[in-house]
Amino acid sequence: MRDASKCNLCGDCLVNCRYVNYDRDKAIAEIKLLMEGKDAEILSKCTTCIACSSYCPTGADPANLIFRMQEKIGTCPIVVVGKPLCEEVVRAFERRGDPEQSKQSTPDKPALSFDAFRFDYFPEGTFDSQLFKGMTIVRGGQYASLVGYVHMGGESLVERYGQRVLDNPARLGKDIVYIHSEGFVLAHVKAKEYGFQVPFKYMHLFE
């Protein structure tokens, strides 16, 4: 999450960016524009790789600033292409699309959060395999982990709907296994940043 108080305008974030060729003065000028809430060239050139936040020596999280401004300005290619997907997510949370689906199974087994992935994306018999057998499996628009939408102009979605995404599996009263890395990131990283409550034990499918 962006912390403007940590930004010392050193320019390292964009000087080191692989997708632009900014000198330090240009980098600093771009960040200043964004901090003032203005359009800047970097918004259309950014590929949302988040490397700039790794380059930042103070932990100010410049990527978050860029993503928020991409969403606000709305003209960069990533936002234009991603807009229909972001709108679909909003419809799901307003209960106008992609309803919840579940496969109920053994009561003492954990539940698998399938994010918004459709069951028919996976080969027939997948859920009868040794890996998934006996698990309750839930999916739907309201289980979408949202974290990946920062790459589509949907930076605000985590803040707006993140707690709801976490509340949905909590209703199952089970430990939760995340099939998708972004679901795990929502519970393990973004929940701390935004102060969300995670009312269940959780792990990644890899664990």
| Per-residue pLDDT reduced to its tens digit, 61-102 | 999 999 999 999 999 999 999 999 999 889 888 877 777 888
d(CA 195, CA 189): 10
Q: Measuring CA to CA, which residue among 68, 74, 97 is closest to residue 160?
A: 68
> In this prediction, what percent of the chain has a pLDDT beyond 70?
100
15 lies in the same domain as 69:
yes
Rounded-to-integer distance, Cα 183 and Cα 174, Å: 16
Among 75, 92, 111, the domain-final residue is 75
Could you read off the pLDDT of 7-40 as tens digits, one per residue? 999 999 999 999 999 999 999 999 999 999 999 9
For residues 97 and 184, membership in a common domain is answered with: yes
Q: Are 155 and 193 in contact (CB under 8 A)?
A: no
- Name the domain count of the chain: 2
Based on the domain organization, do 82 and 151 belong to the same domain? yes
**pLDDT value at position 83?**
93
Residues 88 and 57 occupy one common structural domain: no
- Report how far residue 159's alpha carbon sits from residue 84's, in angstroms, rounded to the nearest whole number: 19
Bridge-partner residues for 139, per DSSP? 101
Whole-prediction pTM value?
A: 0.86
Over residues 127-154, mean pLDDT: 90
pLDDT, mean of residues 111-130:
89
User: Residue 160 pLDDT more than 90?
Assistant: yes
pLDDT of residue 105: 80
Q: Based on the domain organization, do 61 and 104 belong to the same domain? A: no
Helix and strand totals (H; E) in the chain = 9, 5
Share of the chain above pLDDT 90, in %: 72
Mean pLDDT (whole number) for 101-123: 88
- Show which of 75, 102, 131 is a domain's final residue: 75
Using CA atoms, how far residue 93 sits from 31, 47, 87, 118, 157, in Å, is: 33, 27, 10, 17, 10
Three-class SS of 90-106: HHHHCCCCCCCEEECCC
Please check whether residues 60 and 116 belong to one and the same domain: no
Residues 38 and 101 in one domain: no
Q: Are residues 84 and 69 in the same domain?
A: no
Selected residue with higher pLDDT from 108 and 197: 197
Averaged pLDDT for residues 55-63: 96
- Shared domain check, 152 and 95: yes
Same structural domain, 64 and 138 = no
What pLDDT, on a 0 to 100 scale, did the predictor assign at position 141? 87
Choosing from 45, 75, 105, the residue where a domain stops is 75
Rounded to whole angstroms, how far apart are CA atoms 174 and 20?
Answer: 47
Are residues 62 and 144 part of one domain?
no
Please, what sign has the CA dihedral across residues 94, 78, 48, 12? negative
**Bridge partners of 198?**
none
User: 103 and 163 in one domain?
Assistant: yes
Buried/exposed code over 103-136 (b: 16+ C-beta within 10 A; e: otherwise): eebeeeebbbbbbbeeeeeeeeeebeeeebeebb
Q: What is the mean pLDDT of residues 98-119?
A: 86
Q: What is the pLDDT at residue 112?
A: 93
**What confidence score (pLDDT) does residue 1 get?**
86
Domain limits for position 34 = 4-75
Mean pLDDT score across all residues of the chain: 92
